[in-house]
Structure 1
Amino acid sequence: MNFNQIIHWQEIHPVWRKFEVTPLSEELHIIRIGISKNIKRILSHTELLSKEDSKKSERIVREEDKHIFLASTIFKKILCGLYLGCEPQSVELEVNEFHKPKIRKRGDIHFNTSHSGDWLVFAFSCQPCGIDVERINYGFDFSSVLDMSFHPDEIGFIQNSSQPPINFFRIWTIKESILKALGTGLTDNLKELNTLEELSKLPTKNDALHIKSFLIENTYWCSVCYIDPFSKIKYFEF
């Protein structure tokens, strides 16, 4: 069944500041981490890896891919530990049936993560949230993706724009952030979701979705989706 879904989308230019732990009450925290910049810190916390994670890391051949995996796995534990007020070793994580990560037995703290290239991003909130980052690939042939996953209005907007690749990746991160916030894996409904309209159709609750999109280094699009319209947003970096 389709419900009308209100979408409030806004492009912003955030000011980043050094990460510090502050209460999440009525706040949304967006965190960006430069992997190469923090690689020494990442490699110094490999004790946070489970046996399964260690084995998986050993199987990854490309150093860049290994660093991405280690950064994501280790910073999940570090950040969740900071927000929970506990040691990162004691953080217990799990995924729902659609593989959205969550903290076990803690419904009061929600988080989501994404990575692309050298950037790893997180969103933390007291309400469900989703985040996606994508490097703008000017050589990527996205024509087949448009037909499968984009609303006709979005396709027209991208194809008629002066910079189709930039607008493709912008809309793609918006769609991904929405699906990740909902955590229901509704990939079959992407064509029904028109991010250019304030009122779209998506089978979910009637809560309004709020989306912020921004560029990182003018090379990556990042979008975050959240439910609480009263959230104060803070932007942190490592």
Structure 2
Amino acid sequence: MKTSKLSISFLEIKGVDFIPEKGYSLDSDDIVIYTIYLPNFMEMKSDLSQFLNSVELKRVKRFYKEIDKDRFVIYRSILKLILAAYTKLNIKNIYLDYDFNKKPYLASHPWLHFNISHSEDFATIAVSRKKVGLDIEYMSKDFNFTSMLPDVFNDNETQIIQNASDKKNTFYTLWTRKESFVKALGKGIDEDFKFIPCLDGEHDLEFSLIKNSQNWQVRSFDLDDDYLGAIAFEGLPTTAVNINLYNVSQNIFALLEMVK
């Protein structure tokens, strides 16, 4: 029976301010995570909306809440700026395609893998030459997750959450790991979600579960107060990997430098 390996652990990483520069490139071992604190970009939303095409602008109108419209404009526009910087395409020529699980990709540049996650005031974007999945979550004080534990975790994982001194943190840590991994696989949340490993350590994965024979890593990280994240990517722990966490510039002129 075909099996692959999954390694799960915590990543100590701190975000640093990112200064846009020319000559964007990715080595095979690079993973770059861009963080966007959305409230800081609200005054820029009209400038950023110019980078959205007609399909994306129609999508904006489908959001019910104004805050959700604004957030989409911001993180979608910055995603396109980032993709344009790495592909050297004109931003007006950045068109996202979607696979059968609605995971976006660039048909024109299949070597560039990316993933985006949004939760409340933050959005994050990961880019790499490796397949990646990214999930961030705001650890809501009002969300009662207890009732959903049997549906998304096995008995051992559920017991670990229930016995944890910080149940909320443990729940979100394990949830983001599962979510980031299925996003990397392009599976989405399905009936197999409960059986995706999420505890620290090395795990054997059957091909029948993930429909994939690659080896994988998942790394949890602290994003900000009350925010947790996880990044999933191809490779064994022995494979060299260089992960950087950058805070996107809040200056429109600096952002435009990305695509000059």
Distance between the aligned counterparts of 2:2 and 2:179, measured in 1?
A: 19
Distance between the aligned counterparts of 2:133 and 2:54, measured in 1?
A: 28
> After superposition, where does 1:221-236 map in structure 2 within 5 Å?
221-228=228-235, 229-236=239-246
Query: What's the secondary structure of 2:82's corresponding residue?
Result: helix
2:96 counterpart (77, 93, 96): 93
Q: In 2 relative to 1, CA 63–8 (structure 1 residues): closer, same or farther, beyond 3 Å?
A: same
Out of 49-58 and 169-178, give the one that drifted further.
49-58
Is the Cα–Cα contact under 8 Å of residues 6 and 207 in structure 1 kept in the other structure? no
Aligned length: 238
Is the Cα–Cα contact under 8 Å of residues 7 and 211 in structure 1 kept in the other structure? yes
Out of 46-55 and 123-132, give the one that drifted further.
46-55
1:112 counterpart (94, 115, 138): 115
Query: What's the secondary structure of 2:135's corresponding residue?
Result: strand
Superposition TM-score, scaled by structure 2 size: 0.84
2:169 counterpart (166, 170, 175): 166
Out of 225-234 and 116-125, give the one that drifted further.
225-234
2:202 counterpart (184, 198, 202): 198
Is the Cα–Cα contact under 8 Å of residues 8 and 208 in structure 1 kept in the other structure? no
Is the Cα–Cα contact under 8 Å of residues 92 and 103 in structure 1 kept in the other structure? yes
Q: Deviations over 1:22-59 (max 9, x none)?
A: 42112100110111112233320212222232233234
Partner residue in 2 for 1:188: 191
Out of 162-171 and 209-218, give the one that drifted further.
209-218
Tell me how far 1:19 sits from its aligned partner. 4.4
**Alignment pair present for 1:210 and 2:214:** no
Q: Deviations over 1:49-77 (max 9, x none)?
A: 22232233234342211112112321221
**Alignment pair present for 1:9 and 2:19:** no
Tell me how far 1:159 sits from its aligned partner. 0.4
- Structure 2 letter corresponding to 1:224: I
Partner residue in 1 for 2:251: none
- Structure 2 letter corresponding to 1:117: E
Partner residue in 1 for 2:67: 64
Name segments (4+ residues, structure 1) moved above 4 Å: none
Partner residue in 1 for 2:42: 39
**Alignment pair present for 1:50 and 2:60:** no
RMSD: 1.9
Distance between the aligned counterparts of 1:33 and 1:27, measured in 2?
A: 20
Superposition TM-score, scaled by structure 1 size: 0.92
Structure 1: gaps of 5 or more residues: none
Q: Deviations over 1:122-179 (max 9, x none)?
A: 1100011000010001221112321111122211110000111111111111111000
Partner residue in 2 for 1:79: 82
Q: Deviations over 1:7-33 (max 9, x none)?
A: 232232324231435421121001101
Partner residue in 2 for 1:142: 145
Partner residue in 1 for 2:253: none
Distance between the aligned counterparts of 1:149 and 1:80, measured in 2?
A: 33
- Structure 2 letter corresponding to 1:24: L
Tell me how far 1:186 sits from its aligned partner. 5.6
Is the Cα–Cα contact under 8 Å of residues 132 and 222 in structure 1 kept in the other structure? yes
Query: What's the secondary structure of 2:240's corresponding residue?
Result: coil
Distance between the aligned counterparts of 1:206 and 1:127, measured in 2?
A: 14
Tell me how far 1:216 sits from its aligned partner. 2.1
- Structure 2 letter corresponding to 1:23: S
Distance between the aligned counterparts of 1:33 and 1:179, measured in 2?
A: 23
Distance between the aligned counterparts of 1:81 and 1:17, measured in 2?
A: 20
Q: In 2 relative to 1, CA 41–94 (structure 1 residues): closer, same or farther, beyond 3 Å?
A: same
